[in-house]
Structure 1
Amino acid sequence: MSKRQLHLGAILTGVGTDQQEWLHPEIPGNASIDIDWYKQQARAAEAARFDFVFIVDSPYITPDSAPHFLNRLEPLTLLSALAGATDKIGLVATLTTSYTEPFNVARQFASLDHISQGRAGWNVVTTGLEGAAGNFGLEQHIDHGERYRRAREHVQVVQGLWDSYEDDAFPRDKAHKQFLDPAKQHRLDHRGEFFSVTGPLNISRSAQGQPVIFQAGISESGRRLAADIAEGIFAGVDNFEDAREYYADIKRRAAEAGRDPALVLLFPGITPIIADTDEQAQALQRQRDGELDLNKALVQLGRPFSYHDFKQYDLDAPFPELGELGSNGYRGHAERIKRVASEQGLTLRETALRFARPFSGFAGSALTVANEIERWFLEGAVDGFNIHVGAPSEFARFTDEVLPILRERGLFRSEYQASTLRGHLGIDVPHNRHSETHAPLRVAS
C-alpha cells in the first residue's frame, strides 16, 4: 500500500438527479423513497470499502425538477436508518445553513454520529435556490455574501456546541450517585451577527469527536469558506485542467489559513461509463447523449439560475446575455456555464445539452477508467472521487472491475483499517476546546 491512499464516496440519489435516469429498468420508480433500495446500495458501497455514502438535498422544487428532487427521503432520517444497516461506511448528508438553526443541526448530526458510532459527516451548503425563501417565511432569498457569512458563523456555533461536554464529563458513578461532572459541561453563550445561542448541547461528543465537515463551494466565497472550514470538499469540475487548478487553489488557501493542506481532501463527482472496450463505452456514451431530452435539459440548465426559463430564447442563437442573473443563486455553477458558453461560442441548444450530460471523462474499459483515476490522483487533481450510484449493474462494474486494478497498484484499501469516518479519511480527532490539557491530536480509529 502506498502512503497516500485514494478516497471514494458513493452518491446515492434514488431515481437520479438528472431527468432520464429513473427510466433505467434496474431502478425502481419509487427508489428515492424506498429505504430497502438505499440499504442495498449502501451495503454494496461498504462491501467495496468506500469511505462514505453521500445524500444530496435541497429545500425547494418546481414541477419541472428532476424526479429524485420531487419525491425523496429527508437525509438525516435516511442516514439514521442506514446506520443500522451498515457497520463501517461513513454517512454524509447535505444540510443548509441558510434555513436552519445551529442548535438543531448540532443535535441532529451529533445524534447520527452516536447512532452510527462515529461515522457522520455534514455537507455544509448555503442554498442557491431563490425559491427556498418562500418555504421558510421569507419574501426574498438571503444575499449571496450574507449567506456565506451566516454559514461561517453557523458552523462555528455548531462546532462549539459539539464541544459542550469534555470527553470524560460523564463518570456515571452509581456508587457515588454521580452521573455528570458539572465542571466539564460548558455553555456556549454565543452572540454573533446572525445567531444567539446559549447552550450547552444536550449530547456528548462521539467516537470521532465531531462529525466531519464537507463543503462544495466553487465561487470565490465558496472557495474561501471551503478552505477555512472543510475537511472534505465536493468539487464541481468537468475536466482535468480545471480540477488541478481548483485543487492547487484550495490547498494554497488552506495553508494560508494555517491548516494542513493534506487534511483538506477534494472529491469531484463523476459518473464512470465502463464497458468491455473503450469503443463500446464511447458508443454507450454517445447513445446516452443522443437520448437527452432538450426541453428537460433546458429546465436543468435553468436550475443554477433559480429556474430561469430558457425556453423563451432562440435555441440556435448564441447563449443569451444574462447580466447578473445567477449571482444570488448557485453562483459558481452559473458563472462556469456563462464562461464555458462564451469561451466555446456555444448556442443555447449546445449549452443546454453540454451541461445536461454527466461528466464523461471516465468512459472506457475498466483498465482505461482505472488509469484515468490514477492519473488524476497522482498528478495533483484530486484526493478521491464521489462516484454516482445509478443502476446496480453499472456500479458493480466499477467495484468489481476497476477497484481490483487500483488495489493491485496499492492505491485503494482492500479492508477497512478504522471504524469511524475520520479514521477512513485519515483526519485527526479534534480537541475539545475546554479540555484542561491539550494532548497531541490522536488519529481517528
Structure 2
Amino acid sequence: MSDFVMPSLGADMESGKLVQWLVKPGSVVKKGDVAAVVETHKGAFEIEIFEEGVISELCAKEGDELPVGAPLARLVRPGEGSAASKASTIAPEVIPVSAPIPAVEVERTAGTVAAPSPPLIQPSSRPKASPAARRKAGELGIDLNTLKGTGLDGSVTLADVELAAAKGGPPKTPSSAAAPAARRRGFDPDEMRLAIAAAMSRSKREIPHYYLTNTMDMSRPLAWLESFNRQRKPEERLLPAALLLKATALALREHPQLNGFWEDGRFRPADGVHIGWAISLRGGGLIAPAIHEVDTHSLQSLMAALRDLVGRARSGGIRGSEMMDPTFTVTSVGDRGAESVLGVIYPPQVAILGFGRVIERPWVADGSVTSRPLITASLAADHRASDGHLGGLFLAAVDRFLQEPEDL
C-alpha cells in the first residue's frame, strides 16, 4: 500500500486545491496516468501517478484545500492483495467502487440527511474534463455533456473538444454565447506575484548567489539557422531558442555540478538534464515547466517540445511532473527584451542561465572591428555548490557548442 500525495509543484507552493478526480476506487493505474487536477496560485495542473497499481481509497474530496504531502489517495501495488477489499473501507463521503461513478464533480448535500446516516454525495451536472478541454469548450460554446470523452475513465480531453469543433460542434449550451468569458480558474495574478516574491525572497536570503556574464557571437548560429529554415515550412522551422537550449544542455552534461539540487546541506546531482524554460503568462506572472532530457533531443524535436510546452502553459495544460522536476532553469527575454538578464535561482536548483536579446554591436574578429549579432548570457549560481571558475567553464562551453550549430 502506498500513498498518492499532494505534490510540490515548486518552491513557492505550500498547498493546493483538489479540483477534480480522474480516477475512482478500483481504477487500475500505471506510471504517467493523470489521476487528478490540482489548482494552485499558478493555475490548474494535471497530476500524474508515479506507481503501478489499483486505487483502493480516495482520501480527499473535490474542493479540499490540502498542504503539500497530504494523502490524496491510497494505492494497492501489484502483489499486495485485493483492491476490492481495500475499497470497501473507504470513508462514507467517497462513492464505493461497487457504485457507478458519474464523470462529474460532486458536492455534499447539506442538511438533507437524517442522523445517523452519513452525508450523501450528489453528483452535479459537470462532466469530467481536463482543464484545457474545459477552457476550450467554454471559448467555443460547446456543451461538454454532449461529448464522449476518450481520456482516462471517460474524461473529455482537449482533442475531443477540438474534434467536435472541427465537425461543426455539438449543441451549444443556451447561455454560452451570452455569458462573459470566465476568468482563468485558479489563476490570480496578485496571488502569483506574492508567491513569486516569497520564493525569490527566500532564494536571495538563503542562497549565496554569484554572477558571471559572457558575450557570444551569434553570426555562425544565426547564419546556419537561416540556411536550415530556408527550405522548410513555417511550422517546421527552428527558432534561436532551440539552439540556446540545446547548447545549454550539452554544457550541463559536461559540467553536472550546475545541474541538480541543494538539499539537506549538500548538493544532489540530477539524474537527467531537465531544463525549466521560463514562460511569461498572458494574464501576468511566470512559470518554468521542464523539458525533459534536453541533451538527448534533436533540434527539431526540441523545437516541437518547446512550442508544445509554451502553448500548454498559456492554455492551462501543464502536467504536475513538468513543474516538479526542472534541474536547471533558462530564461530568455526574446528579441524584444532587454540586452541582458540577471536571474534569481529557483530553489532547490543551484543555477539559472539568462539570455538577453540579440543585438548588433562592434566586435573584434581577425584583428579588425566589425559589426556582429551578439547575445549576452548571464549565469547566476549557488556558491555553496560551485564557484566562479566552474561557472566560467560552463559559459565557455555554451559558447563553444553554439559556434558549431550543425553538431547540436
- TM-score, normalised with respect to structure 2: 0.27
Q: Which has the higher helix share?
A: 1
Larger relative contact order (CA 8 Å, sep ≥ 6): 1
Q: Which has the higher strand share?
A: 2
Higher-Rg structure is: 2
- TM-score, normalised with respect to structure 1: 0.25
